[in-house]
Structure 1
Amino acid sequence: MKYLLCLCLLLAVLCAITYCRHEDSCHEVNNTNLHDGTENLLTHNCDKRGSNYADFVFRFYKQAILKEADKNVFFSPMSISTAFAMLAVGAKSTTLSQIFEGLGFDDLTETRIHDIHESFHKVLAVLNCSDVNITLTIGNALFTALGYEPQETFLQNTKQFYDAEFFSSNFHKPEESKKQINKYVQEKTKGKIPELIAHLDASTVLVLVNYIYFKAAWEKSFDHFRTYEDDFFVNTNASVRVNMMQSDSDYDSYYDQDLSCEVVELPYQGTARALLILPDDGKMKQVEDAISKETVCKWDNKLATRRLNLQLPKISISGSYDVKKLFKEMGITELFSSNADLSGISGSHDLQVSQAIHKALLQIDEAGTEAAGATAVILNRVLGPSDTIKFNRPFIILISDKATSTTLFMGKIVNPSMK
């Protein structure tokens, strides 16, 4: 009887204000890790082609919306790709090729594979040493069955490149193992993901977990005294009541005539930013069909500062995805079959992935904490004419880290009030 390898992914994200302490080592990481002269294959660089990794986010998004075009979507391409790249440490042959090609990497020589893992290592190090105004933690863990010993090389490389934590778990008692892993996830996500795994099989020998937690303050906070109740038009026939935030300030924005959409950049304190894309009525599919790394590069190059009366709904949504199903539809199939070659983990061809789970949470409000209320006091309200951009219909959100030029999260807000 073949063993099953259960792969689990997760993410939790909060947009609010916080302050955190950093080790001295972070100063060295941020000054050297992405600037050592070697190409970083994860970085989205508009000036050169590089790898196709940056398009993974858009390919996954388009797959996720195929059967749920009228529902909220929110996920972390950084979390998903990190988990599968870590799994690829133990993959070989066509299984390895399918994983990396699915993530946008090609020309898979031995040197190239090492460079991919090294690129993840560098980006993860920088993200975990983010600006003092941001809490951004991303990490990995391996839960192995009692008495099951993965190959030493696999353990060494997952530790070296992905800084993975290791735990033993008694999968012959699935309920106990489930509680152990879910408790770990709950703690790492500050209680926001209380149950990642719904069930485990007694034949499970290994669970891989990736988590990412993000908490940051808007650079220009919304004044909570100006928040009011308004309609959000889910579609042409239905609307819901939402709390609509308001801010009058200078924002970098652009109206794309070709795609009929407004693009607004909302920077966070620190190195992160949110890019909000608001299609005109009836133009969502047109924008979704066209969105790609080239499209985002074009928008970034066209952004210009203008005075806006920005109106954005408070958001509290969550998402849960069967990544196994989505990946199979994207052509990554061997990993989930009896033909999987994960011999770099076990030493033989006796493993396959039985589950790939991704859960996500997004909460956006005016500021997030009392400390942010103080920040709101120093906002300048400039008198004079301004354009109004009102996010009162479905829109797309991209959250990215400017220090690493990587997309952390992507989503579509169809109904801000739907949990």
Structure 2
Amino acid sequence: MKMKSALYLSLVLVGLQVQALHIPNHSDEQEEQDTPHSPAEGGNLPHLKIVPSNADFAFRFYKQVTEEESNKNVFFSPLSLSTAFAMLSLGARAHTLSQLHKCLAFNLTELEEREIHDGFQRLLQLLNDPHREVQLSMGNALFINNELKLRQKFLEDVTTFYDSEAISSDFQNSEKAVNEINNYIKTKTHGKFVDFLQNLSPDALMILINYVYFKGYWEQPFKSFSTRDDDFFVDAKNSVKVKMMYQSKLHNIHRDEKLSCWVVEMPYKGDVAALFVLPDEGTMKQVEDALLKDTVSNWSQSLEERPIELYLPKFSISGSYDVKNLFIKMGVTDVFSNNADLSGVAEGDRLMVSKAIHKAEVDVNENGTEAAAVTMIELVRLSEVFPLPHVIKFNRPFLMLIVDKTTYSILFMGKIVNPTVKEG
């Protein structure tokens, strides 16, 4: 029994400006409905309904990861994970379905099941708008073994709500199938994933894929000639040498006195922004414990434009996560076991998911950010006022979130503990 779930992302931060980002709560929905932020958002109430749940899931997953790796770099795409497992939930039934909903933070007393999928449908439309200034794309695909007969309803739903491609493949010719899947991922992520999938389980019947690709440029790029060698303090006793970027400009910033941290927003051209959070020395855990959608929303609404001297290191980090292990700890057990009920997926075959891998990478430099994420699932038979600072220097561990302002979605998030260590 085998399931592959993997997520990869590569980032290259570039540019800067100022603009508030706001993650709405359920109470914000009417306001958003009455005052859309752009003409394209006239009908985006469906995606606004899933924003709080997606944010809750992002922070829960982050906390689960950092419980086990508190002193390591972290980076992942919560949106890719949410989308892939929401798509899989179309074929889940009974307790398997309720566990997925709970893990993904979908409360069916507040949200109807159809609204979840309507939300992702609208989210995909907004993210993939070809007229956007940033290069941003997200999509899904099913690679289906010839012998698997999908239920028509499942096929129609994944196509309608998730715009998923359905690609027939001969899994008996494993090498050919792996090459087909890897070529698809390589193309969709603009070469960020090469030879992503190593092999197929002998019992593999379907591979479910979600990919997210983002490439953007700062509103105001850093100047390469201002980048200098500097110290980054990994902890109280240890430091490493980094390439520290610098600029003195107006930025949207906020000082959270309660949590003892600085928040700096750095927008890209085209309604996407990076939010950098710099905890005071010794307060990282305090900030991490308070990572909730309300906290981030309050930070975003409290941002003020101020002149500051900003130092930010260049870095390239990656992370790899066993999603199966993390999801089991988050209460998702059935779908990975003989108790799996995925009877809505196919006719005549009992299916389960046996493995989920999530991989991510981020690169940050003076010019821009490029990011890609892939989630793969393989199904097999069941067997707030403050004194203005002169300097905000990111020379100790900090957090990073990349938020799409059109959909209020957290595309990527993570923690940079040591900018010089590539592998998380």
TM-score when scaled to structure 1? 0.86
Q: 1:292-331 residue pairs with structure 2 within 5 A? A: 292-331=292-331
Q: Are 1:393 and 2:396 an aligned pair?
A: yes
Distance 1:253 1:194, change over 3 A: same
Q: Are 1:12 and 2:6 an aligned pair?
A: no
Structure 2 counterpart SS, 1:94: helix
Q: 2:101 is aligned with what amino acid?
A: F
Q: 1:114 is aligned with what amino acid?
A: R
Q: CA RMSD in A?
A: 2.2
Name the counterpart of 1:133: 133
Contact 2:336 2:353 in 1 (8 A): yes
Name the counterpart of 2:43: 36
Aligned length: 383
Contact 2:75 2:361 in 1 (8 A): yes
Distance 1:31 1:304, change over 3 A: closer
Q: 1:413 is aligned with what amino acid?
A: I
Name the counterpart of 2:179: 179
Q: Which runs of 5+ in 2 are unaligned?
A: 16-36, 370-387
In the TM superposition, what is the alpha-carbon distance from 1:130 to its structure 2 partner? 6.0
Distance in 2 of aligned mates of 1:161 and 1:189: 21
In the TM superposition, what is the alpha-carbon distance from 1:96 to its structure 2 partner? 1.2
Structure 1 counterpart SS, 2:47: coil
Structure 2 counterpart SS, 1:346: coil
Contact 2:232 2:239 in 1 (8 A): yes
Contact 1:42 1:54 in 2 (8 A): no
Distance in 2 of aligned mates of 1:185 and 1:331: 29
In the TM superposition, what is the alpha-carbon distance from 1:200 to its structure 2 partner? 2.0
Distance 1:222 1:38, change over 3 A: closer
In the TM superposition, what is the alpha-carbon distance from 1:37 to its structure 2 partner? 7.1
Distance 1:386 1:131, change over 3 A: farther
Structure 1 counterpart SS, 2:354: strand
Distance in 2 of aligned mates of 1:187 and 1:72: 28
Q: Are 1:57 and 2:58 an aligned pair?
A: yes
Distance in 2 of aligned mates of 1:43 and 1:268: 24
In the TM superposition, what is the alpha-carbon distance from 1:33 to its structure 2 partner? 6.0
Q: Which runs of 5+ in 1 are unaligned?
A: 19-29, 45-50, 370-384
In the TM superposition, what is the alpha-carbon distance from 1:214 to its structure 2 partner? 0.7
Contact 2:14 2:366 in 1 (8 A): no
Q: Are 1:230 and 2:230 an aligned pair?
A: yes
Name the counterpart of 1:409: 412
Q: 1:90 is aligned with what amino acid?
A: G
Per-residue CA distance 1:337-362 (angstroms, 9 max, x = gap): 11111011113561000121212121
Distance in 2 of aligned mates of 1:113 and 1:348: 25
In the TM superposition, what is the alpha-carbon distance from 1:246 to its structure 2 partner? 0.5
Contact 2:49 2:115 in 1 (8 A): no
Per-residue CA distance 1:313-344 (angstroms, 9 max, x = gap): 11211111111111111001111111111011
Distance in 2 of aligned mates of 1:174 and 1:108: 44
In the TM superposition, what is the alpha-carbon distance from 1:64 to its structure 2 partner? 0.7
Name the counterpart of 1:24: none
Q: Which protein, 1 or 2, shows the higher relative CO under an 8 Å CA cutoff with sep ≥ 6?
A: 2
Distance 1:357 1:130, change over 3 A: farther
Distance 1:5 1:153, change over 3 A: farther
Name the counterpart of 1:376: none
TM-score when scaled to structure 2? 0.85
Q: 2:241 is aligned with what amino acid?
A: R
Per-residue CA distance 1:155-181 (angstroms, 9 max, x = gap): 111111111112223323433332321
Name the counterpart of 2:80: 79
Name the counterpart of 2:277: 277
**Percent identity for Structure 1 against Structure 2:** 46
Name the counterpart of 1:107: 108
